[in-house]
């Protein structure tokens, strides 16, 4: 089984980190095969940013996203650019305070991740709230592997906040199912 995930937004939103956390969770802690590629503009902040993660039960023979299974969008321009890459039946997760979707979109989920991260103490954790929501909706990796990925990747001073953000995103996904 091959699953293609694309995180998209602008530099400074933690797009690349979200992709790296997901890829590490899959490959290092869930025993799956994963590849993460990234693309971003030369600007430190504000330029287009994308992280693609391919997760598979078998070795990944082609490391790039061709037909997006899950698109996670943090910014309106990224939605306009990458929404056409969704294949039928794919999942779309939007930062609902920053991105407006097209009416009639199937498998669409909106999440005010920036607001949720702010309530936790820092909007810098928006990316991890979105990652938690993605995990809660798809179970693409286990919660435990995502937690281990955070502990192994982010600065020690950010671990507690990011673990709270992950939990908040997963809980929001569960609440939406109820």
Within its chain, how far is the Cα of 165 from the centroid? 12
- For residue 50, list its beta bridge partners: 8, 39
* Nearest in space to 120 (alpha carbons), one of 158, 86, 155, 168: 168
Contact 125, 164 (CB under 8 A): yes
pLDDT (average), residues 25-54: 86
pTM for the full model? 0.93
So what's the pLDDT on residue 157? 96
In 79-127, where do the E strands start and end? 86-95, 108-111
Contact 161, 125 (CB under 8 A): yes
So what's the pLDDT on residue 132? 98
Question: Model confidence at 11, in pLDDT bands (50, 70, 90)?
Answer: confident
Q: What percent of the chain has pLDDT over 70?
A: 93
pLDDT (average), residues 79-108: 85
Domains in the chain with CATH codes? 2-177 (3.40.920.10)
Q: How many CA atoms lie within 13 A of 144 on its CB side?
A: 3
So what's the pLDDT on residue 43? 58
Per residue in 40-61, pLDDT (tens digit) is: 766 556 677 899 999 999 999 9
Whose tokens are 């797009």? That residue is: 15
Per residue in 69-92, pLDDT (tens digit) is: 999 999 998 998 888 888 888 999
In the chain, where do the E strands start and end? 2-10, 33-40, 48-56, 68-73, 86-95, 108-111
The CA–CA distances, whole Å, from 175 to 73, 100, 169 equal 20, 22, 10
């Amino acid at each position: 089984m091959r699953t293609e995930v694309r995180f998209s937004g602008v530099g400074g939103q933690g797009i690349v980190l979200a992709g790296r956390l997901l890829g590490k969770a899959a490959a290092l802690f869930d025993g799956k095969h994963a590849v993460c590629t990234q693309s971003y503009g030369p600007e430190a902040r504000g330029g287009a940013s994308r992280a693609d993660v391919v997760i598979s039960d078998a070795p990944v023979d082609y490391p790039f996203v061709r037909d997006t299974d899950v698109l996670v969008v943090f910014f309106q321009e990224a939605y306009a650019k990458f929404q056409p890459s969704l294949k039928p039946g794919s999942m779309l997760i939007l930062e609902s305070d920053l991105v407006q979707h097209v009416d009639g979109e199937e498998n669409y989920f909106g999440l005010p991740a920036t607001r949720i991260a702010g309530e936790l103490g820092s909007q810098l954790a928006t990316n991890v709230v979105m990652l938690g929501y993605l995990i809660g909706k798809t179970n693409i990796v286990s919660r435990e592997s995502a937690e281990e990925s955070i502990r192994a990747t982010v600065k020690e001073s950010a671990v507690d906040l990011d673990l709270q953000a992950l939990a908040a995103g997963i809980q929001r996904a569960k609440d939406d199912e109820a």
